[in-house]
Amino acid sequence: MDSLFQLSSRIGESLVAGGQTITAVESCTAGGVAYALTMVPGSSEWFHRSFVTYTNQAKTDLVGVPQELFIDHGAVSLEVATAMSRGAQKAALSDYSIAITGIAGPGGGSRDKPVGTVCFGWADPDSEVSVERMMFTGDRASIRSQSIHHALMRMLAIVEQGR
């Protein structure tokens, strides 16, 4: 399995080759994706900014997630991940974006959305958003770590497909 540094380096190389940029918007990982991406020397060439949107209000204020989505689908949903990804891409004027919203635990889960439920959104330069809902196991740190790794793995595949 590639390390976060290796994944981030490969994402950066692909973005530089295409003259493109990326941003991240994170809830349950609280900046972990941004941290991983900026471990790479020279990442300021391709990493624009990051949004940590831990509350619903922050998701609305910073990246424009409509309140109706929280009411209709909940904060941890594919619909909210899509809106987060598009909103971050637009707010940062980036080519790509990564969005993560989930329940890392130990509390906060429900029967329909247990602890370990994480929704992702990845926007490409055409504003097409790929979304995915994953179920991770383990403690809070493990769920967050798995989420960051998964987000970067999928982003690498999307970025490499785009060049």
pTM confidence score: 0.96
Distances (CA, A) of 130 to 79, 103, 142: 11, 20, 24
CA distance 7 to 131: 19
CATH of the domain at 56: 3.90.950.20
Structurally, the chain folds into a number of domains equal to 1
In the numeric block, which tokens belong to residue 120? 């992702």
What pLDDT does 2 receive?
A: 80
Which residue(s) pair with 144 in the sheet?
none
pLDDT for res 1: 59
Query: How would residue 96 be classed by pLDDT, with cut points 50, 70 and 90?
Result: very high
DSSP-assigned letters across all residues of 1-17: ---HHHHHHHHHHHHHH
pLDDT tens digits along 111-160: 999 999 999 999 999 989 999 999 999 999 999 999 999 999 999 999 99
Residue 151: strand, helix, or coil = helix
Burial class (CB in 10 A: 0-12, 13-18, 19+), 8: buried
Supply the range of the domain harboring residue 57.
4-161
Q: pLDDT by residue (tens digit) across 12-66?
A: 999 999 999 999 999 999 999 999 999 999 999 999 999 999 999 999 999 999 9
Distance in angstroms (rounded) separating the CA atoms of residues 134 and 75? 15
8 Å CB contact between 52 and 68: no
